[in-house]
Amino acid sequence: MEGQETDFGPVDVVVIGYPPDAPMTGEAVPLLLDLVDRGIIRVLDVLFVMENEDGTYSGFEASALDADSIGDLKVFEGASSGLLGEDDVRTAGEAI
């Protein structure tokens, strides 16, 4: 509806990191999806961050990705509020 405002309350950023050699089994994804389905959390943005060969970090949104590579996270395709940017990519990369 035009003109309607939505109050989101506090917004937190969660970074989930995997060591490069760790198997990505996808076991945590159903737990995350359950929290979304029950309305406990709302996902505004999904941003994948990876370390480049030169030690810098790149971020990319969940769009036009193959379900074989990201599995059930495909449900977050297009989740982008515009809140996350390059500074967040760098901060997340350094935290990982």
Q: What is the pTM of this model?
A: 0.67
Predicted confidence at residue 82, as pLDDT, reads 84
Predicted confidence at residue 55, as pLDDT, reads 86
Q: Which of 13, 38, 25, 33 is nearest to 73 (CA)?
A: 33
How is residue 6 annotated by DSSP?
-
How much is the average pLDDT of 56-78? 75
Predicted confidence at residue 5, as pLDDT, reads 62
Q: Which of 17, 83, 81, 14 is nearest to 49 (CA)?
A: 17
Residue 37 pLDDT exceeds 90: yes
